Structure 1
Amino acid sequence: MSNSTITFDYISQSQANKEKTANAYFDAASPATLFGRRESTTSGLTWGYYGGTVLIDGSQTQIANGTLALTASATNYVEATRAGVVSANTSGFTAGRWPLYSIVAGASSVTSYSDYRLQANPVCGRLAKALSDANTTLAGNEARNNILEFTGVLTVQRNITVPLGAQQWTVFNNTSGGFDLIIIGATGTGVPIGMGKRAIIYADGTNVVRATADV
């Protein structure tokens, strides 16, 4: 129904078996409900969510419906790993994971929540970040961009730490000072990119790896 030409079957006031038509709608739209709030299992500080099918390393994987225990009197950040494992923390969305919901919890119940699931979809974005001549760890929202450009004046070689979950970036070292940027994960090896150079790199779950030479 996002276009002016409507393709859905209407539910008319006089028709029989309205629930059959409605359930058929829900079934057709169910891929969009992945990790969505499940009302029937959400109560107090228990957050229920819908499962569904997710593509993991090229294989369709079924995620079961589930629940999470929320932390009272805190903002809970609900997220999923690339394997579809859902968890919550009170610190913030984790780099390399899918953001799902931020949930404000009171002493015994949820007071409000915001849906961030759209960010789970692959979107080509560009990050332009000015560095303060210090080693830098990208925040989750920064690392979700596909194009990373760094500016600033460096006095020594600096590290840019990215999440190690499978992802590819085009990186532009647009700094001045004559030093490399090392794109590296929390563990493993990194990739140096010379000043004024661009390269395509990717994380393979263990290391950051160069896909192309500097250009």
Structure 2
Amino acid sequence: MARTEVRSGQIRDLDVLIDDLRDFGPLAASGLNLTVKAGRIRDDNVITNASSQNVVLTNNTTNFVEITSVGVASTNTSGFTSGRIPIAEVVTSGGSISSVTDKRVWINTGTSDTPVAAPASFGRLFLTMGG
């Protein structure tokens, strides 16, 4: 697998976007199927390599695609689940995918009163904040 070097200046200058990263990228497949690309995820000091996965979406609604801290993809129609990592918001209609909105983020942190117990990140950036 070829590697691309990314310099901090590229990130600072917005030359690299979250959409450019392959880890857990959402990809519309056929019908109501969405592929979540393979990726690496960090949960505290454990790094997990997860394979590419397919999820079946619910028709005629908004689907919230997310992964667990060990990289297992799932979807629901209620909203993103606390403790899981958002991947995409996918709208379906008439038996197919209408739109895919990438919801991955560079850094996942806790709020000032709720520290992250199981932080996770994409790419190589990682930061834990909290009180």
Q: Structure 1 residues 44 and 32 mapped into 2: Cα distance closer, same or farther (>3 Å)? A: same
- Residue number among 145, 150, 166 corresponding to 2:118 in the alignment: 166
- What letter corresponds to residue 57 of structure 1 in structure 2? D
Alignment partners' CA distance in 1, 2:118 and 2:41 = 15
Aligned to 1:83, the other structure's residue is in SS state coil
Aligned position for 1:32: 21
Aligned to 1:82, the other structure's residue is in SS state coil
Q: Which runs of 5+ in 2 are unaligned?
A: 6-19, 120-127
1:91-119 superposed Cα distances (whole Å, 9 cap, x missing partner): 00111211110000012100112111016
Alignment partners' CA distance in 2, 1:38 and 1:112 = 11
Segments of 4+ moved more than 2 angstroms = 164-170
Q: List aligned pairs for 1:1-215, cutoff 5 A.
A: 24=2, 27-28=3-4, 32-38=21-27, 42-118=29-105, 121-123=107-109, 145-148=110-113, 166=118, 170=130, 200=131
Larger radius of gyration: 1
Equivalent residues of 1:96, 1:165 under 8 A apart: no
Higher relative contact order (CA 8 A, sep 6+): 2
Equivalent residues of 1:63, 1:84 under 8 A apart: yes
Structure number with higher helix proportion: 1
- What letter corresponds to residue 114 of structure 1 in structure 2? T
Identical-residue share of aligned pairs (%)? 31
Q: Which runs of 5+ in 1 are unaligned?
A: 1-22, 124-144, 149-161, 171-199, 201-215
- What letter corresponds to residue 166 of structure 1 in structure 2? A
TM-score by length of 2: 0.69
Alignment partners' CA distance in 2, 1:84 and 1:48 = 13
TM-score by length of 1: 0.44
Equivalent residues of 1:80, 1:100 under 8 A apart: yes
